Amino acid sequence: MGNRVVVTGLGIVSPLGLDVPSTWQGLVSGRSGVDYITLFDPEPFETRFAAEVKNFDPSRYLEHKEARRSDRFVQFAVAASLEAVKQAGLKIDASNAEGIGVIIGAGFGGLNILLSQFQILMEKGPARVSPFLTPMMIADMAAGQVAILLGAKGPNFCITSSCASGSDAIGVSFETISRGDAQAMIAGGTEAQIIPLTIAAFNAARAISTRNHEPQKASRPFDAERDGFVLGEGAAILILESLPFAIKRGAPILAEVVGYGATGDAYHITQPAEGAEGGVRAMRIALKKEGLEPREIDYINAHGTSTPLNDKHETIALKTVFGDDAYRIPVSSTKSMLGHLLGAAGAIEAAICVLTIQHGIIPPTINLTHPDPECDLDYVPNVARQAKVDVALTNSFGFGGHNSTLIFRRYTET
C-alpha cells in the first residue's frame, strides 16, 4: 500500500474563463464556449468555429520577454499552474524543491510556431529562423517552464498520449507520489491548436463538426445529430501531494486520488477497439487500485467527444463495466461546453470531477435534444443537477488507442 495522494489545488484556463471560478460558473450554467474563430480568418475552411480562450494576456503571468519567447500552450500551462499553486498554498524553496515535480501533458506542443518559422525559412532563408524555435516548439517545454518558474526540482517531463495526455500526466504523478518518489506534483495538460493546419487536418479526416450555422450547438455528445467534435484550447493543473506532506503544511484537501488505469487498444489509429474493450480494461484497472466496486461510483465525466463512434463505444464500455448501475450513474460530457481540448482534455475533466465532489453539482451535457437510441444512459441533459458525489470517475481515450481512467473520492481521514 503506497502513500495516499490528495488534491490540494486547481488551476484552469478554458474557453469559459481564465480561472477556476469563471470556468465552473460557465459549466454549471450550461454555457457554451464555442463561437466563430477569431485567431485567424476561418472563411476558406469547412469548419469556421472552435472553443477559443478569450481575452488571455500572457503578460499577467510571465515577464514580457518570457511571454514573447513562449508558445501559447506554454503560457496557458503557466497561468493554470500559478492559480493551482496559489490555491494549494504551496511554497517551493530549498527545503522541499527536490521533492516537488512537474508533469504536464500536451498532444502537439508548439505547432503554430513551427509552421510560422518554417514559412520564414522558405521565404527568407535559414539565417532568419529564430534561435528560440526549438524551446518554443517542443511539447515538454510547458513542464520545463513551469518547473523553472516555480523552482520545482523533482521529476519533470511531458506525457504525449494524444487526448489522454492530461489524464496520464495526472495518473503518472499520482503513482510517483504513491511510491514515494515525490512529495508533491504539479500535474495536468495544456493545448493551443486552434490554427489553420489543425482545422484543415481534422476537416480532411472528417473528425470535427461542420455545423457553421449554429456553432454553439455543434458539440452535442450522445445526441443523434452529432457530426464530430469541436476543437478547443486551454490548460488545467492539479496539485497532488502525499497525504502526510499536505497535512504537515496545513494544505486545503479538495479530494483524494484513488484510481488510475491506462491501457492500449492495439487496434486502429483513430477508431476505438471492438466493444470498447480497451476503455473497459482501463476503468476496471482504476477501480481495482482501491478495491472500489462499480456501484460506488456516483458520477462519470465521459470522454464524450460528440463523434459518432466514440459516444457509441463509450456507452458500450460503461454498460460493460457497470452493468445495471450504468443506468443509475449520472454521466455527462463537459466537452459539450468546452469543446475538445485534446492533450488538455483529461486534465480539465479531472479538475471538473474534483469540483463536482466539492460543490455537489453535476455539470450537464448541453445540446442533447435528440437522444441517440444507442446512447441510452443518464447523460444529465442540458441542465446541471444537484447531487452528493463522493466518488467520481473520468475517462480519456486518444488517437493511437490510448485509454486512461482516473478516479477521485471525497477525502476522509480514514
125-183 pLDDT, tens digit per residue, is 999 999 999 999 999 999 999 999 999 999 999 999 999 999 999 999 999 999 999 99
Does the pLDDT value for residue 191 go beyond 80? yes
Q: Which residues contact 91 (CB under 8 A, 6 or more apart)?
A: none
C-alpha cell at 211: 455545423
Backbone angles phi, psi at 232, to 5 degrees: -125, 175
Residues 268 and 266: their CA atoms lie apart, in Å, by 7
Count Cβ atoms within 10 A of the Cβ of residue 79 and give its class: 0-12 exposed, 13-18 middle, 19 or more buried.
buried
- DSSP, residue by residue, 204-247: HTT-B---TT-GGGS--TTBTT--SB-BB-EEEEEEEEEHHHHH
pLDDT grade for 193, boundaries at 50, 70 and 90: very high
pLDDT in tens, 58-73: 999 999 989 999 999 9
Interior CA angle at 236 toward 230 and 237, to 5°? 160
Residues 64 and 47: their CA atoms lie apart, in Å, by 33
Range(s) of the chain covered by CATH 3.40.47.10: 5-248, 260-403
Each residue of 173-184: b (16+ CB within 10 Å) or e? bbbbbbeeebbb
pTM of the model: 0.97
pLDDT grade for 2, boundaries at 50, 70 and 90: confident
**In 10 A of CB 58, how many CB atoms?**
18
266 dihedral zone (left: phi>0; alpha: psi -120 to 50; beta): left
Residues 155 and 104: their CA atoms lie apart, in Å, by 11
Gyration radius of the chain over CA positions: 20
Q: Which fold has domain 5-248?
A: Peroxisomal Thiolase; Chain A, domain 1 (3.40.47)
pLDDT value at residue 113: 93
Does the pLDDT value for residue 4 go beyond 80? yes
Answer yes or no: are the C-beta atoms of 145 and 75 closer than 8 Å. no
C-alpha cell at 66: 518570457
C-alpha cell at 378: 443518464
pLDDT grade for 51, boundaries at 50, 70 and 90: very high
pLDDT value at residue 326: 97
Average pLDDT of the chain is 96
pLDDT in tens, 271-284: 887 778 999 999 99
pLDDT value at residue 1: 65
Q: Which fold has domain 260-403?
A: Peroxisomal Thiolase; Chain A, domain 1 (3.40.47)
pLDDT value at residue 255: 98
Residues 14 and 220: their CA atoms lie apart, in Å, by 18
Q: Give Cα 317 distance to the centre of its chain.
A: 20
pLDDT in tens, 22-50: 999 999 999 999 999 999 999 999 999 99
Does the pLDDT value for residue 393 go beyond 80? yes
pLDDT in tens, 215-225: 999 999 999 99
Closest CA to 163 of 400, 324, 381, 413: 400
The residue-averaged pLDDT of 95-123 equals 95
Give the active site residues: 163, 303, 340
Answer yes or no: are the C-beta atoms of 91 and 174 closer than 8 Å. no
Q: Which amino acid is at 301?
A: N
The residue-averaged pLDDT of 391-399 equals 95
pLDDT in tens, 339-385: 999 999 999 999 999 999 999 999 999 999 999 999 999 999 999 99
Pairing mode of beta strands 234-242, 5-13: antiparallel
- Three-state secondary structure string covering 375-406: CCCCCCECCCEECCCCEEEEEEEECCCEEEEE
291 dihedral zone (left: phi>0; alpha: psi -120 to 50; beta): left
Does the pLDDT value for residue 206 go beyond 90? yes
- Specify the 3-state DSSP secondary structure of 45: coil
Does the pLDDT value for residue 120 go beyond 70? yes
Q: Which residues contact 149 (CB under 8 A, 6 or more apart)?
A: 62, 78, 81
Residues 15 and 94: their CA atoms lie apart, in Å, by 36
Answer yes or no: are the C-beta atoms of 375 and 222 closer than 8 Å. yes
User: Percent of the chain having pLDDT more than 90?
Assistant: 93
